[in-house]
Amino acid sequence: MRHSPWRHWPAVLAKRRPIQLTFFVTRRCNARCAFCFYPGAGPAAAGQDTEFSLDEVRRTAPTLGSLLWLAFSGGEPFVRGDLVELSRAFYDANRPALMLYSTNGLLPERIADMAERILAHCRDTTVAIKVSLDGIGEEHDRLRGTPGGFERALRTHRLLAGLRGRHANLEIGVNTVLLRENQHRLDALLDFVRRLPGGGVHTISVARRSPRDAHCADIDPAAYRHAAERLAGDLRARRAPTYRFAGARLKAAQDVVQRRLIHDTLVARRRQIPCYAGRLNLVLTERGEVFACEMSDASLGNVRDYGYDVRRLLRAPAARAARRAIADDACHCTHECYFITNILFNPRLYPALAREYLRL
Ligand code: SF4
């Protein structure tokens, strides 16, 4: 039986421990995106010897307890040779309802093979794999610095679509990073993705500040709103593919509410709703550092210094102070993953969720 997301409902009332983890499995990457927000990520990043090992994951994961969802990020997650084993270790220890993998899709056969091995073991979780497409053809290749990358990403999508029949728990998607360079040319890409054979939900992430390109995240809120309204309109008119997992309609309603809040954040440049970073969400890097969120430069500590015990790390004074500061509204962002928990675990947003739910 699938791991139920509903077992986490008490976190709506008491946000005492993280239920979502983003694990940056590596800084290594086979693409050269100018807009990458992760410092040092790329083909020249340090190798495996500096990365959090499988044994370290096996020691750390049980201290996190049961998780609602787990996101594998990087770098390119699929360049890590032991991604399947890492996934199994988290699956066995944390019983997540959802495991999410973001990929640039540059290694089609390897990604499909690893995905199949992850799916074979992690049968009771939804395995969501999102392939990045930021433009059509040459535009995608230029933005990611990968000649031929668009065709390889499409091949990855096709191979993954071929697995859907054998694995009901596989969820394929496409994600587009909204950048200053592509923001006014999204209509053609939205149409292209909607018609992709094999389907999958199309999501849009707003670019973050990048150490390589200071201006990539200069987004026109009107361009974002246009894309958000098109995605919502396609959903309501049943023109776009939907999620396959139980609770798909609720997740789609949350997507719509989320995009509205992100637009308002872009316009107002301040936080629109409370953020549960550090309370419901945590980030673990490939070097064992723990952060409340991906935007933060302030490490809560390195789990290697706490005997691989995340609970012990979170009880330390520095981590407690950092988590209190976040509750004080000191920052704002458009980080989509955190909006998910900030919406689903905030009862004040349930009327808005219910309205969107009924419109879908
Ligand atoms: S609002 Fe954004 S930047 Fe601030 S703590 Fe939350 S996720 Fe991090």
- Of the candidates 101, 81, 86, 87, the one whose C-alpha atom is nearest the C-alpha of residue 56 is 86
Which residue has tokens 């100018």?
34
What single-letter DSSP state applies at residue 175?
E
Q: What integer is the mean pLDDT of 83-99?
A: 98
Pairing of strands 69-73, 98-103: parallel
83 CB within 6 A, ligand 1: no
CA dist., res. 109 & res. 10, Å (int): 41
User: What's the CA-to-centroid distance between 46 and ligand 1, angstroms?
Assistant: 27
Q: How far is the CA of 187 from the centre of ligand 1 (A)?
A: 29
Q: Domains of the chain by range and CATH? A: 5-359 (3.20.20.70)
**Whole-number pLDDT of residue 42:** 81
Average pLDDT over residues 25-40: 91
Average pLDDT of the segment spanning 25-47: 87
Mean pLDDT of 31-41: 88
Rounded distance from Cα 245 to ligand 1 centre (Å): 28
Lowest mean pLDDT among 31-35, 66-70, 210-214, 331-335: 210-214
Q: How confident is the model at residue 277 (pLDDT cuts 50, 70, 90)?
A: very high
Residue 45: the pLDDT is 78
Nearest CA owner, ligand 1 atom 1: 332
CA of 281 to the centre of ligand 1 (A): 10
Here the tokens at position 129 are 């794999």
Q: Give mean pLDDT, residues 250-277.
A: 95
Backbone torsions φ then ψ of 175, nearest 5 degrees: -120, 135
pTM of the predicted model as reported, rounded to 2 decimal places: 0.95
Residues 150-184: pLDDT tens digits?
999 999 999 999 999 999 999 999 999 999 999 99
Q: Which of 38-52, 234-248, 303-317 has the lowest mean pLDDT?
A: 38-52
d(CA 360, CA 239) in angstroms, rounded, equals 12
Q: Is 101 in the pocket of ligand 1 (CB under 6 A)?
A: no
How many whole angstroms from its chain centre is CA 187? 23
Report, as an integer, the average pLDDT of 321-326: 82
As a whole number, the mean pLDDT across the chain is 94
With cut-offs at 50, 70 and 90, classify the pLDDT of residue 40: confident
Contact (CB, 8 A) for 261 and 339: yes
Pocket test for ligand 1, best of 266, 279, 332, 345 (most atoms within 8 A of CB): 332
In this predicted structure, what is the pLDDT of residue 157?
98
- What pLDDT sits at residue 328? 73
pLDDT above 90: residue 139: yes
Q: What is the pLDDT of residues 7-17, one digit of tens each?
A: 999 999 999 89
Per cent of the chain over pLDDT 90 is: 81
Report which protein residue has its CA nearest ligand 1's atom 8: 293
Beta carbon of 69 within 6 Å of any ligand 1 atom: no
Region 136-145 average pLDDT: 96
CA of 282 to the centre of ligand 1 (A): 11
What number is the average pLDDT over the span 31-47?
84
* pLDDT score recorded for residue 216: 85
Q: Which residues, at least 6 apart from 297, have a Cβ–Cβ distance to it below 8 Å?
A: none
Residue 44 has pLDDT above 80, yes or no: no
Residue 47 has pLDDT above 90, yes or no: no
275 lines ligand 1 (CB under 6 A): yes
- Per the document, the length of the chain is 360
Confidence of residue 43 (pLDDT cuts 50, 70, 90): confident
Residue type, 215: H
Cβ 130 under 6 angstroms from ligand 1: no
**Above 90 in pLDDT, residue 41?**
no
Output the DSSP codes for 57-126.
HHHHGGGG-S-SEEEEESS-GGGSTTHHHHHHHHHHHH--SEEEEEE----HHHHHHHHHHHHHH-TTSE
Residue 325: per-residue pLDDT? 80
What is the C-alpha to C-alpha distance for residues 173 and 151, in angstroms, rounded to an integer? 16
How confident is the model over 40-56, as a mean pLDDT? 85
At 198 the pLDDT is 85
300 Cβ inside 6 Å of ligand 1: no
**pLDDT over 90 (residue 274):** yes
Which ligand 1 atom is nearest residue 276's CA? 6
129, 229, 138: which is closest to 187 by C-alpha? Answer: 229
pLDDT at 329: 66
